[in-house]
Structure formats: C-alpha cells, structure tokens
Amino acid sequence: MKAHILVVDDDRHITGVLRRALAYEGYSVEVAMRGDEALRKVIERPPDLIVLDLMLPGIDGLEVCRRLRASGNQVPILMLTAKDAIPDRVSGLDEGADDYLVKPMDLQELLAHVRALLRRRNPEQAEVLRFADVELDTGTRMARRGKREINLSTTEYELLALFMRRPRQVLTRDIIMERVWGYDFEGESNVLEVYVGYLRNKLEAGGEPRILHTIRGAGYVLREKPDAS
C-alpha cells in the first residue's frame, strides 16, 4: 500500500510542486493550507508522514507539532521553514519534529528525507523495477539490460528510475526537470538532453534497440517501439 503524505504549507506554489513530485514518486498526497485544517485532516485520514511548514496562518507549525505529540500521535514530521537560524531548528525538533529542512530546499534532498523517515517507520526491502529487458535495483542502484550490467551516475539513476516507474507514459520536460533536478534548478538549459543522451548510450551500449524515445513537442517516453505517428 502506498504511503499517504500530508503537505501543510500556505504557499500554493510550494504545495503544488510537492504534491506533483510526491505523487510521481508514488505517494498518496493531501494538502492543507492552515494549521487547524491540518489537524482536522490528520483525524479524518491519518497520514504516514507530514511535511509541515513552520510559518502558517493561525495555528503555526510548531503548535501543530506540539498538539499532535501531546495527543500521543507519533506520525513522522518533516518540518520546513524559510528561517535558517539555529534556534528555529531547535524549536521544531524540541516540539517533536523528526527532521528539518530550510526553504528553498532541494527537491531531491526533500524526497530523500521523506524516504528515510518512511523507512524508519516502516522498513521496506529494496525494489527491483523491470521494463522489457531492463532491470533497476533501487537498493544497489545497479541497472541491467539482459545479462549486461550498467553502472549509472546518480543523475542517470534518478532519470531511469523516473521512467521505469512510469513506463509508456509521456513525461514532459517540466515534469522531468522538476522531479530529477528540483523545481528551483538553474543549471544549463540543455542538461536534460545531455543526460538523456548519456542514459541512451549506456542502455544501447550492447547494440540493444532504443527504448527511451523523444516525442517531439511533448517530452520523452519509455517504451519498446517509437510512436507510430
């Protein structure tokens, strides 16, 4: 069963980015914009993890955390804040938060923190993703095509994992950039094309047919045959 995550932040841009990123990661996501709304949603549908902003209108993140812990609720809480002073971090952790990130946060780092907190609560075995003759072990981060092993860089792994979790689904450039590099990435504009090229070279190094296809004007897709159109 996929984990259910409650994202609590009054910034609609942030909640939109996190909702999409977490959903593409395979999580069930619900959003609350206020502290009192968050507390109500925790009762209505208990989450497996809460991503909680410190600065909220009305009941702030510290008070939400305080009330949850006072009631005996031990749901993992990843606290976010635009403040980076040590006292703010200490306050959040003292009130029962399990982890802490300062905004603007790197999306990949946030996803790693989410995975770590969920593993801590519900330890899971590594997953082996499969598509056609390609396998990707999420534990070792080793890929294999047929009997041939493929060593991947961190970015190449994240890119391949994204496609293998969504085979035959056309992923737009924006979605891929947001998921692999983070919504605030400001690197070279052609970085996606470069890494798709790297990944294709490794997937096709043994003369295998192409499975990562470009869909002009739309994005990229993992499938065994290119678009007939």
Tell me the whole-structure pTM to 2 decimals. 0.57
Question: Rounded mean pLDDT of 154-182?
Answer: 87
**What's residue 189's pLDDT?**
66
**How far is the CA of 30 from the CAs of 15, 50, 105, 210, 221, in angstroms?**
9, 10, 20, 37, 27
Residue 229 pLDDT class (50, 70, 90 cuts): very low
Question: Rounded mean pLDDT of 172-181?
Answer: 83
Model confidence pLDDT, tens digit, residues 191-215: 889 999 999 999 999 999 999 999 9
**What's residue 214's pLDDT?**
94
Question: Rounded mean pLDDT of 30-37?
Answer: 95
Tell me the C-alpha distance between 54 and 174, whole Å: 28
Tell me the C-alpha distance between 59 and 37, whole Å: 9
Residue 64 pLDDT class (50, 70, 90 cuts): very high
Residue 107 pLDDT class (50, 70, 90 cuts): confident
Q: Which residue has the higher pLDDT, 187 or 87?
A: 87
Bond into 226 cis (ω within 30): no
Tell me the C-alpha distance between 110 and 191, whole Å: 21
**What's residue 5's pLDDT?**
95
Query: Taking 60 as the threshold, does the pLDDT of residue 67 lie above it?
Result: yes
Residue 144 pLDDT class (50, 70, 90 cuts): very high
One-letter amino acid identity for 109? E
Residue 90 pLDDT class (50, 70, 90 cuts): low
Question: Rounded mean pLDDT of 178-203?
Answer: 78
Residue 105 pLDDT class (50, 70, 90 cuts): confident
**How far is the CA of 19 from the CAs of 23, 45, 141, in angstroms?**
6, 17, 25
Model confidence pLDDT, tens digit, residues 115-130: 888 877 665 556 899 9
In order of start, what are the domains of the chain with their CATH numbers?
Answer: 4-121 (3.40.50.2300), 128-222 (1.10.10.10)
